[in-house]
Structure 1
Amino acid sequence: MTKTLNAIQETNFQFPGQTGFYRGKVRDVYSFPDKLIMIASDRISAFDVVLPRPIPFKGQVLNQTAAYFLKATADIVPNWLLEVPDPNASIGLNCAPYAVEMVVRGYLAGHAWREYRDGRRMLCGVALPDGLRENDRFPTPIITPSTKAHEGHDEDISREEILSRGIVSENEYIQLERYALALFERGTAMAAERGLILVDTKYEFGNLDGNVYLIDEVHTPDSSRYFYADTYQANLQANQPQKQLSKEFVREWLIANGFQGKTGQTVPTMSDEWVNQISQRYIELFETVTGQSFQPAEGSDSLSRIESAILRTLTK
């Protein structure tokens, strides 16, 4: 069990009745016959690479932001979440995940812009017109799916390829599309209430007893990009970068320092000052998106706190 600067690098618990364990890029997942425990660590990934230093409070921000939006969208699609026993942990239903992520984009930004800038006009089977600028709004949101990789890079994939390869059945895929667009519409409205623009995001779904559930996180800084609405138009007209809340600023820093996750590249050194800056940006996003004040989890021994809270819940 490792901690750095009071940040949670990883967990290695063994819970009663536990049947499996999986360490993702950010979350440590403990499986049981009928449920999952997801612990949001303070690891941070970019370009599908886990960076060497964890970010204090990042896991708490992710877990609590996800819980906030899962509750706020439960009327659109059922979701996996049952309870939140600790600021860094969630317990929910053990659904069989679909092997695709439903990425919804309302604006030409991030990965989509980099592809467009490099001359590509087809993104995941969606044709894009010439003449668009970075951060231009699409007439209607588009879905650009990606495969869900356990290791390495997720890959862009088209609707047609998903169906032809039998990754998801057509009926299920239509349902995933409908849910994803409805969730994006709700997220857009909730963001607007907070003076933000939901630029793009990804949704993951699973199946349980023949029913589709929203799983993992939703509308968090790791899965979403937000712009500040009050400066959007002026920055667009002036061809200036958008003021945004997302981890895109981490990607931009990595790119500026010669790292894009490509073979042979080395992750640049992250100073204490830079790590703290990232932490503050995550806290800012939580407070701005939810309208709630961030309350850092108490106690200096985060691992013991998390383990005790989960054990209390499991033995209820």
Structure 2
Amino acid sequence: MSLADQVLAVNDDLPIRTNKPVHSGKVRSVYWLSEEDSRRLISENDYDVPADTPLAIMVISDRISAFDCIWTGEGGMKGVPGKGAALNAISNHWFNLFKEQGLADSHILDIPHPFVWIVQKAVPVKIEAICRQYITGSMWRAYEKGEREFCGINLPDGLAKDSKLPELLQTPSTKGILEGIPGVPAVDDVNITRKNIEDNYQAFNFKSIDDIALYEKLLTEGFDVIAAALASIDQIFVDTKFEFGYVKDKQGNDKLIYMDEVGTPDSSRIWDGEQYRSGKVVENSKEGFRQMLLKHFPDPDILLNKDRMEERTALARDNDLPVEVLMQLSKTYTDIAEKITGEKIVLSDNPKAEIIAILKEQYQLID
């Protein structure tokens, strides 16, 4: 079996019973179950949700996205071996830790396979909830050019690249394109201030103005739990992006939960502690891959400049990366997952066949 066969690159073609179109994102695909199947699974598995909650099967892939493009490798490598399993394992680990420590719930109800979650439908808050403990990446690039205000927060002069910030900062941005919000341009990923959110909380899908403080509390608590756990294995939690949404509890009340993934190498920067103390930044996250791409191509502005999206898409489409680049990235993902979870990431010979067998035999979701 070739390495390319062990990669789950296409995850929107599984024969899961659904009466809605499959929603495929950069990495995950979502299959909405019928009302009948949702009710049956809730009853059979005693999920802690109202009986009429819509459920979905969420299948991760091994695709690798960076700079809003999907990248492939030579020899038919359409993704990174072990990446999907590593991401899910890390998210599952943090969500379990959140539960143990009394934080909010997540949208995950069940984990049939390392690549698969059964999730409840959530109404997303339209905010990329970003938290930063160190100044690096886009914040450093802007700071270096003289910017001192980020999301309504003023930073002092004299900060050094990759240094720890005076305090943990929340620097939210928009999730998707939001029209008609005063002072917020209608483009994706725009930095916003707390005042923007307060003045337009309903446009960001908050149920009440008080929930803004709740989301900030959950963001800080989640960050702190992960940062402490990573510190215990000498890894630094640099920055991260969380997402939140609303679900109904069994009594039909709205509750704010964590959704999507948390604390993964895709949504966060994680640095090696020992290397950092000796003056080197060693990325145990996708950021290392992004930096490699910036060095790999002669004109890095294509990757950084949103006005050159067409050229960027062509760059990703027309350039298969060396297999060793993807294998190095595979090692980054699986190593950090094994460090965090304490368990081995096992590469499946045929993830798609395994998923189909489990969903057919144990969940009766495949005809």
> TM-score if structure 2 supplies the norm length?
0.78
How far, CA to CA, are the matches of 1:89 and 1:286 in structure 2? 17
- Give 1:5 deviation, angstroms: 4.6
- Report the Cα distance in structure 2 between the residues aligned to 1:25 and 1:213, rounded to whole angstroms: 22
Residue number among 262, 266, 285 corresponding to 2:336 in the alignment: 285
Q: Tell whether 2:277 aligns with 1:228.
A: no
Q: Distance in 2 between matches of 1:218 and 1:313?
A: 27
In terms of Rg, which structure is larger? 2
**Is 1:204 aligned to residue 243 of structure 2?**
yes
8 Å Cα contact 2:81/2:347 also seen in 1: no
Contact 1:49-1:261 at 8 Å conserved across structures: no
Q: Structure 2 matches for 1:45-194, cutoff 5 A? A: 45-52=65-72, 53-74=78-99, 75-149=102-176, 153-166=188-201, 167=204, 168=206, 169-194=208-233
Higher strand share: 1
User: Does the 8 A contact of 2:18 with 2:31 survive in 1?
Assistant: no
Query: 1:251 offset after TM fit, Å?
Result: 0.8
Instruction: Give 1:15's aligned residue.
Output: 16
Task: State the secondary structure of the residue aligned to 1:8.
Answer: coil
For residue 260 of structure 1, report the CA deviation from its aligned partner: 1.4
SS of 2:87's equivalent in the other structure is helix
- One-letter code of the match for 1:136? S
Q: How many correspondences in the alignment?
A: 306
* CA distance in 2: counterparts of 1:163 and 1:173, whole angstroms: 7
SS in 1 for 2:241: strand
1:86 to partner: Cα distance: 0.9
Identity across aligned pairs (percent)? 29
Distance in 1 separating the partners of 2:115 and 2:221 = 27
- Residues 251-276 of structure 1: CA distance to partner in whole angstroms, max 9, x if unpaired? 11111222415412323541111111
RMSD of equivalent CA atoms: 2.1
Q: Residue 361 of structure 2: SS of its match in structure 1?
A: helix
Residue-by-residue CA offset, 1:33-64 (whole Å, 9 max, x unaligned): 52122111011111222224411111111111
Q: Which amino acid aligns with 1:62?
A: L
Structure 1 gaps of 5+ residues are 236-240
Show CA shifts across 1:126-169 (max 9, x none).
2111111111112221101122238x953322222223333134
Q: CA–CA distance in 2 between the matches of 1:162 and 1:270?
A: 41
Q: Indicate the residue corresponding to 1:6 in structure 2.
A: 6
> Would the alpha carbon gap of residues 205 and 123 (structure 1) be closer, same or farther in structure 2, given more than 3 Å must change?
same
* Distance (whole Å) between structure 1 residues aligned to residue 18 and residue 361 of structure 2: 14
1:275 paired to 2:319: no
Alignment-derived partner of residue 282 in structure 2: 243
What's the offset of the Cα at 1:291?
2.5
In structure 1, distance between residues paired with 2:21 and 2:98: 29
Tell me, yes or no, if the aligned pair for 2:6 and 2:347 is still in contact at 8 Å: no
Structure 2: runs of 5 or more not aligned: 36-53, 73-77, 178-186, 249-253
Partner of 1:309 in structure 2?
Answer: 358
Q: Secondary structure at the match of 1:113?
A: helix
Deviation of 1:213 after TM superposition, in Å, equals 1.0
Q: In the aligned structure 1, how far is the partner of 2:123 from the partner of 2:15?
A: 22
Residue range with higher mean Cα deviation, 108-117 or 178-187: 108-117
Distance 1:137 1:184, change over 3 A: same
CA contact (8 A) 2:98 2:222 kept: yes
Q: For 1:36 and 1:116, how far apart are their aligned partners in 2?
A: 42
**Paired amino acid for 1:8:** L
Q: 1:163 corresponds to which letter in structure 2?
A: E
